[in-house]
């Protein structure tokens, strides 16, 4: 799985630079970033696809043509393009389009929730470590190192394997996987910002630590950390559906892309194109998230 995104060593330095740039420049920085993103057709295209997908899965009950759970043995495994069943039917005769729409809800949920949770927890811990330094930093960063010693897939499989199957366990496992890299990035960028002149000035003027962090540090580090977190969503979605594919995530009959891919495996001889659809959905979503995140990162890099 795309482990790269959880290896921030190379990304860290870059992000620290960006954070410093963001901090040093005025509000014009973000306007510039936005301007550059707007000019990048790939990013805009991918973002539009993601937005469309999001709308489609949010409004699934309104636009889905059929019931996601109700099937019929008489019309199982129909081909793509069957009238009334545009994307065919699955192994229990349920409409694929409907299942994919509803399945997107869980897949997105299981992909984004761990990153969102890790973003919050990781930022808090990382900023704390970066700002306070000293023993707190030491304690937080050494624990982070331990989790770094596990390849991400292995850690996710280990935790959800030990806890047993279930959506909540899978989300818990993935959150634990993503907290350490976010802590590292947050710590690096915070350390970078902490020593800047205006933070020193604020400190000298007697502002308390909380205010400094809230006003000066968070405002400047959240952006880069957020961008880094978006690059994790793609990994998270692949991992989450991978867990479901292994039977560690969602349980039948809940529609979820990874699980659908699993249950449609045997249909690959009858309707190969229908059987690969859920995988294609995961692929498209994941590639779009990756490209959007790349675009954002590039736009924030003033040199580029």
Partner 1 sequence: MRLKKFLMAACLVALPVLGASVADAQGTLRIGMTAADIPLTNGQPDQGFEGNRFTGIPLFDSLTMWDLSAADKPSVVIPGLATEWAVDANDKTRWVFRLRRGVKFHDGSDFNADAVVWNVRKVLDREAPHYDPRQVGVTATRMPTLRRAEKIDDYTVALFTAEPDSLLPINLTNLFMASPTQWERLRAANPTAEATWNAFAREPSGTGPFRMTRFVPRERAEYARNDAYWTDKAKLDRIVILPIPEANARTAALLSNQVDWIEAPAPDAIPQLRQRGMVITSNAQPHVWPWQPCFAENSPLRDVRVRRAINLGIDREGLKTLLGGMMSVPVGTVPRGHPWFGNPSFNIRTDKAEARRLLAEAGYTPQRPLTLKVQISASGSGQMQPLPMNEFLQQDLKGIGVNVEFDVVEWNTLFANWRQGCTHAAARGAHATNVSFAAMDPFFAMVRFWDSKMAPPVSNNWGFFNDPRFDAMIAEARNAFEPAARDAALARLHAAGVDEALFIWIAHDVSPRAMSPRVRGYVQPQSWFVDLRLPYIQ
Partner 2 sequence: MFFYLIRRIAYGIPIALAVGFVCFMLVQIAPGDPINAIVPPDAPGDVVEQVRRDYGLDKPLPVQFGLWLLKVVQGDLGRSLASGRPVWSDLSSAIGNTLMLATCASLLGFILGCLLGGLAGTFRGSWIDRAAVTLAVGGVSVPHYWLGMVMVVIFSVQLNWLPAMGAGPGGSADWAWDWEHIKHLVLPTVTLCVIPMGIVTRTVRGIVAEIMNQEFVTALRGKGLTRGGVFLHVVKNAAPTALAVMGLQLGYLMGGSILVETVFSWPGTGLLLNNAIFQRDLPVLQGTILVLAMFFVILNLLVDLMQTALDPRIKRG
Binding map of partner 1 across residues 144-173, x = CB under 8 A, - = no contact: ---------------------x--------
Nearest C-alpha neighbor of 278 from the set 255, 260, 253, 254: 260
Displacement of CA 229 from its chain's centroid (Å): 6
Q: What is the SS3 assignment for 209-275? A: HHHHHHHHHHHHHHHHHHHHHHHHHHHHHHHHHHHHHCCCCCCCCCCCHHHHHHHCHHHHHCCHHHH
The helix/strand/coil state of 76 is coil
Query: What token pair was written down for 67?
Result: 């019931």
The minimum distance between CB 59 and partner 2, in angstroms, equals: 25
CA angle 56, 59, 60 (to 5 degrees): 75
Q: Distance of CA 265 to CAs 107, 218, 270, Å?
A: 18, 47, 10
Does residue 70 touch partner 1 according to CB under 8 A? yes
Does residue 245 touch partner 2 according to CB under 8 A? yes
Does residue 243 touch partner 1 according to CB under 8 A? no
Among 5, 57, 97, 299, binds partner 2 (CB under 8 A): 5
Beta bridge partners of 95: 89
Nearest C-alpha neighbor of 164 from the set 246, 61, 72: 246
Number of residues that bind partner 2 (CB under 8 A): 50
Is-contact 54 108, C-beta < 8 A? yes
Does residue 265 touch partner 1 according to CB under 8 A? yes
Residue 270 binding result from partner 2, partner 1, none, given CB thresholds of 5 to 8 Å by partner type: partner 1
Among 47, 177, 217, 238, binds partner 2 (CB under 8 A): 238
Residue 204 binding result from partner 1, partner 2, none, given CB thresholds of 5 to 8 Å by partner type: none
Does residue 158 touch partner 2 according to CB under 8 A? yes
The minimum distance between CB 92 and partner 2, in angstroms, equals: 20
The minimum distance between CB 73 and partner 1, in angstroms, equals: 4
Query: What token pair was written down for 193?
Result: 């910002």
Residues at the interface with partner 2 (CB under 8 A): 1-5, 7, 10, 142-143, 145-147, 149-154, 157-159, 161-164, 234, 238, 241-242, 245-248, 258, 261, 265, 268-269, 272, 275-276, 279, 282-283, 286-287, 289-291, 294
Residues that bind partner 1 (CB under 8 A): 69-74, 76-77, 91-92, 165, 247, 251-253, 263, 265-270
């Amino acid at each position: 799985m795309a482990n790269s995104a959880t290896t921030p060593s190379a990304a860290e330095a870059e992000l620290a630079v960006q954070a410093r740039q963001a901090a040093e420049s005025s509000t014009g920085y973000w306007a510039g970033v936005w301007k550059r993103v707007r000019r990048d057709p790939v990013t805009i295209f991918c973002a539009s696809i993601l937005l469309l997908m999001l709308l489609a899965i949010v409004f699934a009950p309104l636009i889905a043509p059929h019931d996601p759970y109700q099937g019929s043995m008489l019309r199982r495994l129909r081909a793509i393009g069957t009238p009334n069943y545009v994307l065919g039917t699955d192994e229990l005769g349920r409409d694929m389009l409907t299942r994919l729409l509803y399945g997107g809800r869980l897949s997105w949920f299981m992909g984004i929730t761990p990153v969102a949770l890790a973003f919050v927890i990781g930022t808090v811990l990382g900023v704390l470590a970066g700002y306070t330094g000293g023993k707190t930093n030491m304690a937080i960063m050494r624990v982070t190192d331990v989790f770094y010693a596990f390849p991400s897939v292995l850690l996710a499989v280990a935790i959800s394997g030990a806890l047993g199957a279930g959506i909540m366990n899978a989300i818990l496992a993935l959150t634990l996987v993503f907290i350490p890299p976010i802590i590292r990035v947050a710590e690096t960028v915070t350390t970078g910002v902490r020593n800047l002149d205006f933070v020193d000035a604020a400190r000298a003027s007697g502002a308390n630590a909380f205010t400094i962090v809230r006003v000066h540090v968070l405002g400047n580090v959240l952006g880069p950390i957020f961008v880094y977190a978006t690059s994790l969503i793609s990994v998270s979605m692949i991992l989450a559906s991978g867990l479901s594919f292994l039977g560690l995530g969602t349980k039948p009959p809940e529609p979820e892309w990874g699980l659908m891919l699993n249950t449609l495996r045997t249909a690959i001889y009858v309707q190969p194109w229908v059987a690969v659809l859920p995988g294609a959905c995961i692929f498209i979503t994941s590639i779009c998230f990756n490209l959007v995140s790349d675009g954002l990162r590039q736009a924030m890099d003033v040199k580029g």
